[in-house]
Amino acid sequence: MISPSTRRAAAKPNAEPPLSRDAVVDRGLAIADTEGLSGVSIRRIAQDFGVTPMALYWHVKNKDELLDAMGDRILEVIQIPSEQTALGSDGLRQLLSVLIDALRRHPGCTTLAQARILQCDTGRQLAEQALRILRDSGFSVQQSSNLARAALQTALVLVADRPGAETAVPEEERDAVMAGKRAALHNLPADRFPNLVECADSLTDCPDESEYYAEGIELYIAGVQSLARRRVVTAG
Amino acid sequence: MISPSTRRAAAKPNAEPPLSRDAVVDRGLAIADTEGLSGVSIRRIAQDFGVTPMALYWHVKNKDELLDAMGDRILEVIQIPSEQTALGSDGLRQLLSVLIDALRRHPGCTTLAQARILQCDTGRQLAEQALRILRDSGFSVQQSSNLARAALQTALVLVADRPGAETAVPEEERDAVMAGKRAALHNLPADRFPNLVECADSLTDCPDESEYYAEGIELYIAGVQSLARRRVVTAG
DNA sequence: ACCTGAACACCGTTCAAGT
DNA sequence: ACCTGAACACCGTTCAAGT
């Protein structure tokens, strides 16, 4: 007696995994990671599974729903910090940190996660915690909303636009594209753009990723703390 | 003797403007404004001009070049503040403000402007000024680069993701889409998501745009000032 | 329950040809 | 210099049909 998986492997040497909603979503993320989000298409995924494009429509309503599911998947891996540990500005730091860690697994797909952040449970928990911390700090409903949005956007932008990321371009071309941009800055007229020339390398490369993210988080936190102090002084 | 423009108007009641590179770029922006960026296509623009799609390829190399030109056009209108007026953190505020004003004219196209900011002259002047101010404040090359990038991204995100903007969706559907999102937040279980429910309206609507932008700018400035003070204390 | 074939309405783009 | 016709290789999606 041959198991189904063995039979499949025998029939197809290039052992494609069985078609399923989860497998389709994972394949979409894998394509986006290596070739950019524009490389993701129903037909392309079908081809990777050795199946006709219309087969996917059994597992997924349409392409929009697939993209939504990819966004949800990115956020699903997040372990929400408990309410006890996530207090004050250090709580905000933690929330930003766990979100960034999740997004970094698929840096070319941050827009998908952004679209789903208030639609999926993990994203809602993240937003709820951020709002709670900000409200507890004394910010108004309107300010807390805007600051919570700014927190999420900070994480998204830090990952999506990390210097030298070039996630929109296929993997093999990324180095070349980045080198081109850097050269363009270096070749700028030094009399008109002295600072751009001086900063050419540091604008296009990220020598220390963990420092980069830590400083990006810190800029946001410092801003929030500063606004909180002003609030106390003004309203107090 | 009939002038060319009269002849054209007579031949076609729906007086299409003459085809030109500038006109094509403007049409692209107009379509993006009303129908979202995904509504912009070579074939659609050609149709608007009453011309065959291939006619556009005389005025524009390909679609990527068209999108680049649209991004450049958005940034071209910016009046760069003079070096004298743009000093210190107030200079950064001014730079953010002029950039935001330009982006607000085409809120669905911020990604196009983002891609061109270090490639077109206006964008480079903006970046150069920001870097100069940050360097003058004592930040290192690496920090100034990251903070200047953060400034540009702050402007882009404030405009692109303004609550209730929904720029990806055609104009007529925007109200309905936003109302749906708001309702979803209101209907969340109040025991699990008390703050999301409380903030439902302010997360999905922007009652006062100029206050929204002013506070967004202030968050960034407050962060930079706070980091600058720390720098002095630590290094000083 | 799960997949295929044929068809439709869209894309961007090339290339030779027209005026 | 500026535009067209025909063709190609892609999309997403529907719908009836197969097993």
Q: Are B108 and B168 in contact (CB under 8 A)?
A: yes
What is the Cα–Cα distance from A216 to B181, expressed in whole angstroms? 29
- Residue contact A142–B118, C-beta within 8 A: no
In this prediction, residue A137 carries a pLDDT of: 95
* Cβ atoms of residues B195 and A131 within 8 Å: yes
CB contact under 8 A, A118 and B195: no
Report residue A15's pLDDT band, with 50, 70 and 90 as the boundaries: low
Judged by CB atoms closer than 8 Å, whether chains meet at B146 and A202 is answered as: yes
Among A132, A219, A226, beta carbon nearest to B150: A219
Straight-line distance from CA B135 to C1' C13, in Å? Answer: 46
pLDDT at position B17 is 82
Query: Is B7's pLDDT higher than 70?
Result: no
CA distance A24 to A44: 11
Question: Considering only residues 171 to 210 of chain B, which have any Cβ-Cβ distance to chain A shorter than 8 Å?
Answer: 181, 184-185, 188, 192-196, 198-199, 202-203, 207
Percent of chain A at pLDDT > 70 equals 92
- Residue B122 · residue B95 · CB < 8 Å: no
Spell out the domain ranges in chain B.
8-60, 73-162+206-235, 171-203
Q: Do A145 and B202 touch (CB under 8 A)?
A: yes
* Spatial contact of B19 and B49, defined as CB atoms under 8 Å apart: yes
Alpha-carbon distance values, A56 to A4, A16, A29 (Å): 21, 14, 15
Q: Which residue is closest to B144 within chain A, CA to CA?
A: A199
Helices (H) and strands (E) in chain A, counts: 12, 0
Q: What is the mean pLDDT of chain A?
A: 91
- How many CB pairs below 8 Å do chains A and B form together? 134
Q: How many residues does chain A have?
A: 236
Q: Residues 4-43, chain B: which have Cβ under 7 A from strand D?
A: 18-19
Whether the predicted model's global pTM rises above the 0.85 cut:
yes
Confidence check: pLDDT of B12 > 50? no
pLDDT at position B153 is: 97
d(CA B203, CA A118): 10
From A7-11, B83-87, B156-160, B215-219, the region with the lowest mean pLDDT: A7-11
Residue B129 one-letter amino acid: Q
Q: What is the CB-side half-sphere exposure of residue B69 using CA atoms within 13 A?
A: 18
What is the C-alpha to C-alpha distance for residues B179 and B174, in angstroms, rounded to an integer?
9
Mutate to test the interface with A, among B149, B182, B209, B230 (most CBs of A within 10 A): B149
Sign of CA dihedral A89, B151, A175, A48: positive
Asked if A203 and B118 come within 8 Å (Cβ–Cβ), the reply is yes
Of A135, A150, A195, which is closest to B131 when you measure between CB atoms? A195
Percent of chain B with pLDDT over 90: 81
Assigned token pair, B136: 């003058």
Q: In terms of CATH, what superfamily is B8-60? A: Homeodomain-like (1.10.10.60)
Q: Which nucleotides of D are covered by protein (CB under 7 A)?
A: 2-6, 10-16
Give residue-wise pLDDT tens across range A121-158. 999 999 999 999 999 999 999 999 999 999 999 999 99
Say how many Å lie between the first and final Cα of chain A, rounded. Answer: 78
Helices (H), B109-173: 110-116, 121-136, 141-160
CB atoms within 10 A of CB A79: 9
CA of A3 to C1' of C4 (A): 25
Tens digits of per-residue pLDDT, A86-101? 778 799 999 999 999 9
Most confidently modeled range among A193-197, B11-15, B88-92: A193-197
CB contact under 8 Å between B227 and A218, yes or no, is yes
The CA distances from residue B98 to B72, B86, B155, in Å, are 15, 12, 9
The residue ranking higher by pLDDT, B200 or A15, is: B200
Give the containing element (helix H, strand E) for A219.
Answer: helix A209-235
**Is strand D within 7 Å of residue A42 (CB)?**
yes
Residue of A nearest to B166 (CA): A115
What is the rounded distance in angstroms from the CA atom of residue B21 to the CA atom of residue B72? 13
Which residue shows structure tokens 């600058």? Answer: B228
Collect all residues with Cβ–Cβ distance below 8 Å to A125 and sequence separation of at least 6. A80
Domain B73-162+206-235: give its CATH code: 1.10.357
Instruction: Give dist(CA B22, CA B59) in Å, integer.
Output: 9
Contact residues, A window 78-117, toward B, CB-based 8 Å cutoff: 114
pLDDT at site A3:
35
Return d(Cα B20, Cα B26) in angstroms, integer.
10
Kindly tell me the sign of the dihedral angle through the C-alpha atoms of B74, B78, B80, B86.
negative
With a 7 Å cutoff on the CB, does B52 touch strand D? yes
CA distance B41 to B64: 11
Interatomic CA distance for residues A19 and B150, integer angstroms: 42
B103 three-state secondary structure: helix
